[in-house]
Amino acid sequence: MKENGIKCIVWDLDDTIWNGVLLESQQLRLKPQITDIIKELDGRGILHSIASKNNYELAMQKLEQFAIADYFLFPEINWNAKSISIAKIQKNLNIGMDSIMFVDDQQFEIEEVKSSHPGVTCINATEYRNFLTRDQLKPRFITEDSKRRRLLYLAERTRQLEEENYQGPKEEFMAGLNMKFMIAPASEEDLKRAEELTVRTNQLNSTGLTYDYDELDRFRKSDDHLLLICELTDRFGSYGKIGLALIEISMKSWNIKLLLMSCRVISRGVGTVLLTYIMQQAQKAGKKLFADFRKTDRNRMMYLAYKFSNFKETQTKENDIRLANDLSYIPEFPPYIDIVTHNRL
């Protein structure tokens, strides 16, 4: 199963979100149904941002007046080229360019973005009424994590600001977050989010493969597979379900068929926690440990995570790599994270 879904819509303002030009008139009206469309997409887990050539203070005041300012993450309201604004938004959200949709009423702005970011889906503002029925904006499932995705980003921004203002060692700051990393076999209730993770996670995905609900349910029920899911929390709240592993089990070995971690939590230093746990459990079970890796244009970070954890290449065929670990060295868990496991293997 493969799906190219949009994760964020970047909107222009003048004659796009509202009718009229802000610097020419304060008598502006929102486009018909635009508020309902933005709220509905937000509830589906689609993020929103702004790339507008405008006065920041006036624009934000107008958005506040219309009671929609809170829906836009990392708004870029300035006089820069729209392509520059989109690049900043993409960096702040840490998502791929091909998961961004740009909406503008001016064709020359659309062409400018297309020339700089060919992966961005560019749409004329006249088409906004059709957004709720566009396949790219209709995730197969709407999970609890989807519904609060914007809030998760806002909480993360609060963490980042606190870290930037913290005077002291980074590990000391991390320890003060009171992080808990929970690992458990996936339940039936986790499967919608598990599918969503395989579709949405690209940078830290060991194979780039996606699995649908029914496939994951078969793995969950199989005696020959182990499906693990992870959640991270700290004193600011939950990051949601942020990691997934699929392990094929045989008499003599374990083979990691899929390992992924949401890029949202990399700054928290938890990227290899799940991998370390799997290594520990394989060693306790007396099993050899292997892993499948497929090179994509985005997942080099996951390859490095395997290498730093002492995995060695044993077989390579084009972009498909077979890795093995003799388990002679298993990294320690970060000291500032409390690891909570359920139903140990």
Burial of 2 (C-beta count, 10 Å sphere; 0-12/13-18/19+):
exposed
Cα 316 to the center of its chain, rounded Å: 29
pLDDT digits (tens, 9 = 90+) for 252-280: 999 999 999 987 777 677 878 999 999 99
* Range of lowest pLDDT (35-39, 53-57, 237-241, 324-328): 237-241
Domain 144-341 has CATH 3.40.630.30: yes
Residues 29-57, mean pLDDT to the nearest whole number? 97
Residue range 291-321, pLDDT digits in tens: 999 998 888 988 999 999 999 999 999 999 9
Q: Is 305 helix (H, G, I), strand (E, B) or coil?
A: helix
Instruction: List the single range of 12-21, 132-141, 200-209 with lowest mean pLDDT.
Output: 200-209
Work out the pLDDT band at 2, boundaries 50, 70, 90.
very low
Residue 248's pLDDT is: 97
SS3 content of the chain, % helix, strand, coil (to 5): 40, 25, 35
pTM of the model: 0.76
Question: 134 or 141: which carries more pLDDT confidence?
Answer: 134
Comparing C-alpha atoms, which of 100, 143, 131 is closest to residue 37? 131
* Residue 239 neighbours by CB under 8 Å, 6+ apart: 152, 156, 231, 232, 233, 262, 264, 265, 268
Residue 311 gets the label, from left (phi > 0), alpha (psi -120 to 50) or beta, of beta
| Per CATH, domain 8-137 is 3.40.50.1000 | yes
Percent of the chain, pLDDT > 90?
A: 74
Supply the pLDDT for residue 155. 87
d(CA 193, CA 38): 22
User: Among all chains, which residue has been given the structure tokens 């604004």?
Assistant: 85
What mean pLDDT comes out for the span 101-112? 97
- The number of CA neighbours under 13 Å toward the Cβ of 77 is 23
Q: Which amino acid is at 65?
A: Q
Beta strands 253-261 and 225-234 are unpaired
- Share of residues in the chain with pLDDT > 70 (%): 98
Range scoring the smallest mean pLDDT among 19-23, 46-50, 147-151, 178-182:
147-151
Mean pLDDT of 179-194: 94
| pLDDT surpassing 90 at residue 343 | no
Mean pLDDT of the chain: 92
Check whether 25 has a pLDDT greater than 70. Answer: yes
What are the backbone angles phi and psi of residue 293, rounded to the nearest 5°? Answer: -135, 135
Question: What is the number of helices (H) and of strands (E) in the chain?
Answer: 11, 15
Q: How far apart are CA 24 and CA 8, in angstroms?
A: 29
Write out pLDDT tens, residues 60-96.
999 999 999 999 999 999 999 999 999 999 999 988 8
The domain spans of the chain are: 8-137, 144-341
- Confidence at residue 345, expressed as pLDDT on a 0 to 100 scale: 53
